């Protein structure tokens, strides 16, 4: 999986870079590096097939968002970097153990090849002597050096008259210190192997404090070799300093991994919250859609009812208007009949007047004649009859 450089994920050094750094420091040669790679090759392949890495890869492939994929890629990059550091640490410790074993065997051979020298006797004068260095911090080296300190060992091989029965040099104390250092390195290697077998990095502050103290003790023992010009001791000193740096880097990477795991947990919680909100929003949308469809059906039904009511109102208005028109027609018909009756009556009266008009004219003429002649009672009776 490629590193995402434009999203904040920086590429970390690989195991090849670690071996190159060791070559620059002068701790291991090319032949030792190739030997360690051949030795620890199957173990490295087995480590790449761990459940954590495969799980991270599957999570990265199934990630839904870009931020989650970037976070998982960062975790994978840190895991690769951590594996490369552990591989370099394994090779370094193996080289240290090998060199310490070789130095121990060489010291043992040199001790066996030394022939016992004659005990020289001088006068009672005491010559300036140099006692071997002994470290008070370790019980094993203290016990071994206590037996050597019983011998009055001098740097130049000059001994006292009756107190010296054997001879030694500072190589003896160095031999014991190298053996003790080898034992400590082997112990650290076994602890590291148990940790790697368990698959759990050192996380508790107690273990970190213990290993920091052990590293300080080893650095203190390494200070013994500062006055010597031996290349082997210089190599061990550089290896131990490199081991200290790698331990600090591993601690830093573990803290970074824990921080990224916490960040990943937080992002997972946020993602779950967002998914819950999205599900709630979808549920609300579905409810609103169903409600909208129900309201649409209700609206259509209300429109149909409104059209029916409008038709009923129109029919009712038409019926009312028809009733009014029929009433007016009946009224007008009655008025027409009345007018026809009055017309008939007026026509009858007019006809009566037309029929009586000649008689009236004759009567008026006669009356005028009688008036002019001085009429009598006959004229008056005749006029009354005509009036009736």
Choose between 362 and 374: higher pLDDT: 362
Q: Could you tell me which of 239, 147, 133 has the C-alpha nearest to residue 177?
A: 133
Q: For the chain, what percentages of helix, strand and coil (3-state, to nearest 5) are there?
A: 80, 0, 20
Binned at pLDDT 50, 70 and 90, residue 125 comes out as very low
**In the chain, % of residues over pLDDT 70:** 53
What is the structure's pLDDT at 312? 92
Task: Choose between 115 and 313: higher pLDDT.
Answer: 313
Mean pLDDT of 256-270: 92
In whole angstroms, how far apart are CA 189 and each of 103, 230, 246, 342? 18, 25, 14, 145
CA atoms within 13 A on the CB side of 11: 10
* Pairwise pLDDT comparison (2 vs 306), residue with the higher score: 306
pLDDT reported for residue 305: 93
Query: What does each C-alpha distance from 290 to 279, 284, 285, 296 come to in angstroms?
Result: 16, 10, 9, 10
- Inform me whether the pLDDT recorded for 260 exceeds 70: yes
Identify whether the C-beta of residue 220 lies closer than 8 Å to the C-beta of residue 91: no
Query: 308 or 109: whose pLDDT is higher?
Result: 308
Can you tell me the distance from the alpha carbon of 87 to that of 13, in angstroms, rounded to the nearest whole number? 13
**What pLDDT is attached to residue 28?**
40
pLDDT at 75: 76
Rounded to 5 degrees, φ, ψ at 371 are -65, -40
Q: What is the pLDDT of residues 217-241, one digit of tens each?
A: 776 666 665 555 566 666 667 777 8
Looking at residues 50-56, what average pLDDT do you find?
68
Q: What is the mean pLDDT of the chain?
A: 68
What's the rounded Cα separation, in Å, for the pair 272 and 18?
A: 40
46-52 mean pLDDT: 52
pLDDT at 83 over 60: yes
Asked if residues 33 and 22 have their Cβ atoms less than 8 Å apart, the reply is yes
Calculate mean pLDDT across residues 116-127. Answer: 41
Q: Which residue has the higher pLDDT, 203 or 187?
A: 187
Least confident interval from 137-146, 192-201, 331-340, 378-387: 137-146
Q: Report the pLDDT averaged over residues 33-45.
A: 45
- Mean pLDDT (whole number) for 101-127: 54
Listed ranges 28-37, 120-129, 372-381; the one with the highest mean pLDDT? 372-381
265-304 pLDDT, tens digit per residue, is 999 999 999 999 999 999 999 999 999 999 999 999 999 9
126 three-state secondary structure: coil
For the cut 70, the answer to whether the pLDDT of residue 97 exceeds it is: yes
Position with higher pLDDT, 317 vs 94: 317
Provide the pLDDT for residue 154: 42
Residue 92 has pLDDT above 70, yes or no: yes
In this predicted structure, which of 9-23, 38-52, 86-100 has the lowest mean pLDDT?
9-23
> How far from the centroid of its chain's Cα atoms is residue 277's Cα?
15
Query: What sign does the CA torsion over 147, 152, 157, 163 have?
Result: negative
pTM tops 0.95, yes or no:
no
């Amino acid at each position: 999986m490629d590193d995402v450089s434009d999203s904040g994920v920086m590429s970390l050094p690989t195991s090849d870079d670690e071996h190159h750094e060791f070559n620059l420091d002068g701790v291991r040669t090319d032949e030792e590096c190739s030997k360690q790679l051949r030795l620890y090759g199957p173990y490295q392949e087995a480590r790449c097939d761990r459940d954590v890495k495969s799980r991270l890869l599957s999570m990265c492939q199934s990630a839904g968002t870009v931020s989650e994929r970037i976070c998982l890629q960062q975790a994978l990059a840190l895991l690769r970097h951590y594996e490369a550091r552990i591989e370099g640490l394994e090779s370094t410790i193996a080289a240290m153990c090998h060199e310490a074993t070789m130095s121990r065997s060489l010291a043992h051979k040199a001790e066996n090849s030394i022939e016992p020298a004659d005990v020289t006797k001088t006068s009672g004068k005491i010559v300036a002597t140099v006692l071997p260095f002994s470290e008070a911090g370790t019980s094993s080296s203290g016990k071994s050096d206590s037996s050597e300190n019983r011998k009055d060992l001098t740097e130049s091989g000059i001994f006292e008259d009756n107190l010296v029965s054997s001879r030694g040099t500072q190589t003896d104390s160095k031999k014991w210190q190298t053996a003790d250092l080898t034992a400590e390195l082997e112990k650290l290697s076994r602890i590291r192997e148990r940790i790697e077998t368990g698959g759990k990095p050192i996380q508790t502050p107690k273990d970190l404090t213990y290993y920091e103290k052990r590293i300080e003790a080893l650095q203190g023992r390494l200070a013994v070799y500062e006055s010597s010009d031996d290349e082997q001791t210089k190599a061990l000193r550089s290896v131990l300093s490199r081991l200290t740096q790698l331990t600090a880097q591993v601690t830093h990477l573990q803290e970074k991994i824990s921080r990224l795991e916490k960040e990943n947990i937080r992002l997972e919680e946020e993602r779950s919250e967002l998914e819950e909100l999205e599900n709630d929003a979808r549920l609300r949308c579905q409810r609103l859609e169903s409600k909208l469809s129900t309201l649409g059906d209700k609206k259509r039904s209300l429109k149909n009812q409104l059209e029916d009511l409008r038709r009923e109102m129109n029919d009712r208005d038409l019926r009312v208007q028809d009733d009014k028109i029929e009433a007016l027609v009946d009224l007008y018909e009655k008025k027409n009949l009345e007018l026809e009756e009055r017309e008939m009556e007026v026509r009858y009266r007019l006809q009566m007047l037309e029929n009586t008009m000649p008689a009236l004219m004759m009567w008026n003429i006669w009356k005028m004649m009688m008036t002019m002649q001085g009429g009598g009672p006959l004229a008056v009776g005749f006029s009354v009859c005509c009036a009736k």
